[in-house]
């Protein structure tokens, strides 16, 4: 854990068919820290070529985006902070997941729980804010502040990420941004591939602490059950 350069709080599925299939699709198991062979699906010529960015992170839903640990804090304090949050927050139950196109990439999105997800996201962002180091100028620049709304820029300055609080949209990324002519065939293939294992209901049961290694790959470090 001490070798990690950034940390994040994500949703990640518990062990089972859904976790196995999503890890294999992206070609990275963040629990084992291993690359995996990706499946051959009809209509998808090269799955590795369309999953470059999500493969770095492993299959997940962002709750607190990656951050550097605040100066003076250590790994034990980080773990304790996330554990305390999980102990006072309740699980979020959604009716299920739907495959959607979001800004050109494909993702699974939860249905029937928007208000509860917004509340969970806000509580985690607020509760983890003391754990993160302030953004550097380079980190701010990478968020392309010139493209943000005034409210998103305010959120970036206050919380270290522009898509939090009322701007939060929980999603589970499956692909990079795709050319328009690939969206339909890839969506058809992924819907057939994932439908048999999609959880119903879909429940966020844990806060998962992830760490980014020196190569830019993310690993699941600890899982904390939501017991509030």
Q: If you average pLDDT over every residue of the chain, what do you get?
A: 96
Q: What is the pLDDT of residue 208?
A: 98
**What is the CATH number for 83?**
3.90.1140.10
Query: What is the tally of structural domains in the chain?
Result: 1
**DSSP letter string, 57-126:** H-S-EEEEEEEPBPTT--HHHHHHHHHHHHHHS--EEESEEEEEEETTEEEEEEES-HHHHHHHHHHHHH
Per residue in 153-165, pLDDT (tens digit) is 999 999 999 999 9
Does residue 147 belong to any structural domain of this protein? no
69 in a domain, yes or no?
A: yes
pLDDT at 106 over 90: yes
Q: Tell whether 49 is covered by a domain.
A: yes
Confidence check: pLDDT of 2 > 70: no
- Which residues constitute the domain of residue 68? 6-135+170-225
Residue 107 lies in a domain: yes
Residue 189 located in a structural domain: yes
Answer whether residue 57 is part of any domain: yes
**Inside any domain, residue 151:** no
What is the C-alpha separation between 122 and 183, in angstroms, rounded? 32
pTM of the model: 0.95
pLDDT digits (tens, 9 = 90+) for 131-142: 999 999 999 999
Q: In the predicted model, is pLDDT for residue 1 greater than 70?
A: no
| 211 assigned to some structural domain | yes
């Amino acid at each position: 854990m001490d070798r990690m350069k950034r940390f994040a709080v994500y949703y990640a599925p518990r062990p089972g068919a859904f976790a196995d299939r999503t890890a294999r699709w992206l070609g990275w198991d963040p629990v084992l820290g291993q690359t995996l062979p990706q499946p051959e699906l009809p209509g998808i010529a090269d799955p590795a070529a369309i999953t470059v960015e999500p493969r770095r992170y492993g299959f997940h839903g962002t709750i607190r985006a990656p951050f550097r640990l605040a100066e003076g804090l250590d790994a034990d304090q980080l773990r304790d902070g996330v554990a305390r949050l999980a102990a006072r927050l309740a699980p979020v139950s959604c009716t299920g997941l739907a495959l959607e196109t979001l800004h050109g990439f494909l993702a699974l999105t939860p249905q029937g729980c928007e208000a509860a997800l917004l509340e969970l996201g806000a509580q985690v962002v607020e509760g983890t804010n003391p754990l993160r180091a302030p953004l550097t100028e380079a980190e701010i620049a990478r968020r392309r502040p010139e493209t943000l709304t005034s409210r998103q820029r305010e959120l970036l300055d206050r919380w270290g990420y522009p898509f939090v609080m009322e701007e939060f949209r929980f999603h589970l990324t499956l692909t990079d941004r795709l050319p328009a002519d690939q969206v339909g065939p890839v969506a058809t293939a992924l819907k057939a591939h994932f439908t048999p294992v999609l959880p119903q209901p879909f429940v966020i049961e844990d806060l998962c602490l992830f760490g980014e290694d020196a190569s830019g790959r993310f690993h699941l470090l600890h899982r904390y059950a939501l017991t509030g």
